[in-house]
Amino acid sequence: RSLHSAATRGASNISRRGYASEPGPERKVAVLGAAGGIGQPLSLLMKLNPLVSSLSLYDIAGTPGVAADVSHINTRSKVVGYQGEEELGKALEGADVVIIPAGVPRKPGMTRDDLFNINAGIVKALCTAISKYCPHALVNMISNPVNSTVPIAAEIFKKAGTYDEKRLFGVTTLDVVRAKTFYAGKANVPVDGVNVPVVGGHAGITILPLFSQATPKANLDDDIIKALTKRTQEGGTEVVEAKAGKGSATLSMAYAGALFADACLKGLNGVPDVVECSFVQSTVTELPFFASKVRLGKNGVEEVLGLGALSDFEQQGLESLKGELKSSIEKGIKFANQ
Ligand code: NAD
Ligand code: LMR
């Protein structure tokens, strides 16, 4: 409900500037991997978003059925399904936002990096097509390992001469969603009003929730903060283990992906003060990519915000995540340039 009403608020903010009956500018959103575990519920949620006028659902298989199904929902956007590489160009042409949940998910015992060998190639091919068919789109990268797939995308775009660091985002919203949920539970506050920035990257210890900056404030003991941090870092694994071989987070990820795409659309549409955490090109630390709060605007990233004051525990967490994050970034860059 809050996603829908947030999106509706966005739309009404925009229409107030024009004619009351205007639904907002035309916006095409493409979902690559739309028939998958994330792709299907994400496509549903994007169909519910009134900021979307055209919804393009692409996968290597299964998209006609998903598109037919979703297209019957009586909301603004027109839905078209595209299947197979030969239809990828049409799926992408004119897209304002491209969301990529294409690729294999983890099974118990695997790290996100174990997905690299398969997903790196998928992301490379999809980004090559993006640079050809919709080079100005905002790219929302969900496929894991995000710490490497975002640098891969950047390198592919650089090679094609289309790279714009303001338009490439690693989606880390699920970490924020989890941190908010877990914090609200321990702080015993209504989850609706909770904010927790999550910085760093999107794997294990590279996920660094900043509970010292969480609002509303709650004086939680250090051991509770430590446990909350660990649970946020291991949130993905918690779901992978509970699904026992049947994949990783799909429903909560679809929700998080829809929230982040909605923020991108609002930014594009000129809604002020849209701030979300995302893994982007960054000078916040010495690492070339880093997740932090980002202000979104008409060209994508308007401003990468700094980390703010960190507790000693968070400062230690920041120092200890840098080695792993650096090597994941370098691995992606190396792969793309092979
Ligand atoms: P899934 O296997 O259910 O779905 C993946 C879909 O991608 C399938 O429909 C498949 O046909 C499609 N696909 C494969 N190759 C493709 C290609 N070349 N072009 C287009 N589509 C292609 O997996 P899932 O559970 O939806 O997870 C997808 C990815 O998202 C995984 O890599 C997973 O690790 C990642 N993920 C990321 C986050 C995050 O927070 N960023 C959260 C959850 C999952
Ligand atoms: C998550 O955080 O749920 C995703 O990155 C999927 C995973 O493999 O944990």
107-120 pLDDT, tens digit per residue, is 999 999 999 999 99
pLDDT at 82 (0 to 100): 98
User: Which residues, 6+ apart, have CB-to-CB distance to 175 below 8 Å?
Assistant: 198, 202, 207, 209, 232, 235, 277, 291
Residues with a known catalytic role = 202
**pLDDT tens digits, 208-252:** 999 999 999 999 999 999 999 999 999 999 999 999 999 999 999
**pLDDT tens digits, 75-103:** 999 999 999 999 999 999 999 999 999 99
pLDDT at 17 (0 to 100): 41
List the structure tokens of 196: 């927790």
- Does residue 16 register a pLDDT over 70? no
Q: Is 143 annotated as a binding residue?
A: yes
Q: Would you place residue 22 in the very low, low, confident or very high pLDDT band (cuts 50, 70, 90)?
A: low
Q: How far apart are CA 159 and CA 180, in angstroms?
A: 38
Q: Is 109 annotated as a binding residue?
A: no
Global pTM reads 0.95
Mean pLDDT of 18-43: 87
- Does residue 21 register a pLDDT over 80? no
What is the residue with the minimal CA distance to atom 4 of ligand 2? 236
Strands (E), 15-134: 28-32, 54-59, 78-83, 97-100
What is the residue with the minimal CA distance to atom 8 of ligand 2? 106
Question: Predicted ipTM?
Answer: 0.99
Q: How far is the CA of 331 from the centre of ligand 2 (A)?
A: 19
- The ligand with the least distance to the CA atom of 235 is 2
Q: Is 1 annotated as a binding residue?
A: no
Q: Is the CB of 115 under 6 A from ligand 1?
A: yes
- The ligand with the least distance to the CA atom of 204 is 2
List the structure tokens of 164: 């714009």
* Type of residue found at 259: L
Q: Is the CB of 33 under 6 A from ligand 1?
A: yes
